[in-house]
């Protein structure tokens, strides 16, 4: 008997064409709401998932740069000196988890960047050909609407059943950031930076730190006193 299609299955289906047609070993697909909340709707493997998590935790890497610039960020060699200078934390961490090159593309609706497809290679690569770049751009454009729809359905499913295995929406991180803006009288950007700094300094996943703040077992305001 075939079970119901899950968000994980749909995310894998979104990722599959990229692996079939491009020289990548894995990838993640992230969408972003108008309020800046990130939802990871698909990852192909543990390396891709960790790269995605590292960029969110550290606030640096190709995904944040693509979201800022609205343009592809192509990094054939993560070991290069200019990469380490531009991403002093992420560059070294990415190599450590098994990525030697990354190629990231904006998901666009008009001029608005609504997400990122970020592919990695386990070996240093030559710059992609014009044909490969065109293929990547076309596949990314085709994935935009399905990815947005998947994120919306996953959010609705989570509302009905918080235990459901849906796309990772990092609700607790954004909820914790909102709580910190009130507690510390700072902006959302400042509160998220504080979360990242605390998680990095204490070698903890940012999701775990956020969970403690939401559960009121951790008070960053008291930590500063």
- Cβ neighbourhood burial of 89 (10 Å; 0-12, 13-18, 19+): middle
On whether both 38 and 79 belong to a single domain, the answer is: yes
My answer on whether 113 and 133 are in the same domain is: yes
Asked if residue 191 and residue 92 are part of one domain, the reply reads no
Which residue, chain included where needed, has tokens 């343009």? 71
Q: Are strands 112-121 and 73-75 parallel, antiparallel or unpaired?
A: unpaired
Q: What is the pLDDT of residue 113?
A: 92
113 shares its domain with 215: no
Can you give the CATH number for the domain in which 200 is found?
1.10.10
190 belongs to a structural domain: yes
Note the pTM of the prediction, 2 decimals. 0.75
What parts of the chain have a pLDDT lower than 70? 1-8, 34-36, 155-171, 200, 221-225
Shared-domain flag, residues 29 and 90: yes
- The pLDDT value recorded for residue 155 is 62
Q: Are residues 91 and 154 in the same domain?
A: yes
Question: What angle (nearest 5°) sits at the alpha carbon of residue 87, between those of residues 24 and 118?
Answer: 25
Domain extent for 179:
171-223
**Proportion of the chain above pLDDT 70, given as a percent:** 84
Which domain CATH number covers 68? 3.30.450.40
Q: Which of 160, 183, 200 is the last residue of a domain?
A: 160
Kindly state whether residues 46 and 69 are assigned to the same domain: yes
> Per-residue pLDDT tens for 167-215?
444 667 777 877 887 777 777 777 777 777 777 677 777 788 888 888 8
Q: Show Cβ contacts of residue 35 under 8 Å, excluding neighbours closer than 6 positions.
A: 174
Looking at the domain assignment, is residue 165 inside a domain?
Answer: no
d(CA 77, CA 214): 39
Boundary of a domain, candidates 112, 138, 160: 160
Domain match, 64 and 117 both: yes
Q: Is residue 166 part of a domain?
A: no
Distance CA 109, CA 199 (A): 33
Looking at residue 50, what is its pLDDT?
A: 93
Quote the mean pLDDT of the chain.
83
216 and 119 assigned to the same domain: no
Q: How many domains does one find in the chain?
A: 2
Does residue 74 share a domain with residue 45? yes
Residues 91-101, buried b or exposed e (16+ Cβ, 10 A)?
bebbbeebbbb
With respect to residue 1, please indicate whether it lies within any of the assigned structural domains: no
**Vertex 90: Cα angle to 103 and 214 (nearest 5):** 110
């Amino acid at each position: 008997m075939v079970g119901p299609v899950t968000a994980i299955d749909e995310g894998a289906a979104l990722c599959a064409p990229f692996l079939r047609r491009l020289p990548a070993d894995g990838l993640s697909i992230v969408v972003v709401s108008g309020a800046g909340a990130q939802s990871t709707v698909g990852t192909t493997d543990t390396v891709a998932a960790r790269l995605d998590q590292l960029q969110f935790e550290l606030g640096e890497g190709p995904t944040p740069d693509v979201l800022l610039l609205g343009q592809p960020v192509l990094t054939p060699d993560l070991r290069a000196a200019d990469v380490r200078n531009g991403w002093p934390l992420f560059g070294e961490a990415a190599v450590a988890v098994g990525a030697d090159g990354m190629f990231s593309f904006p998901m666009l609706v008009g001029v608005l960047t609504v997400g990122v497809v970020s592919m990695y290679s386990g070996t240093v690569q030559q710059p992609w050909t014009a044909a490969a770049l065109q293929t990547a751009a076309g596949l990314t454009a085709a994935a935009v609407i399905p990815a947005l729809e998947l994120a919306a359905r996953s959010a609705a499913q989570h509302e009905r059943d918080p235990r459901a295995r849906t796309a990772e929406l990092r609700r607790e991180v954004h909820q914790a950031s909102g709580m910190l803006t009130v507690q510390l009288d700072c902006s959302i950007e400042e509160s998220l930076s504080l979360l990242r700094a605390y998680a990095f300094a204490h070698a903890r996943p940012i999701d775990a730190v956020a969970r403690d703040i939401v559960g009121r077992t951790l008070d960053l305001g008291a930590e500063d006193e």
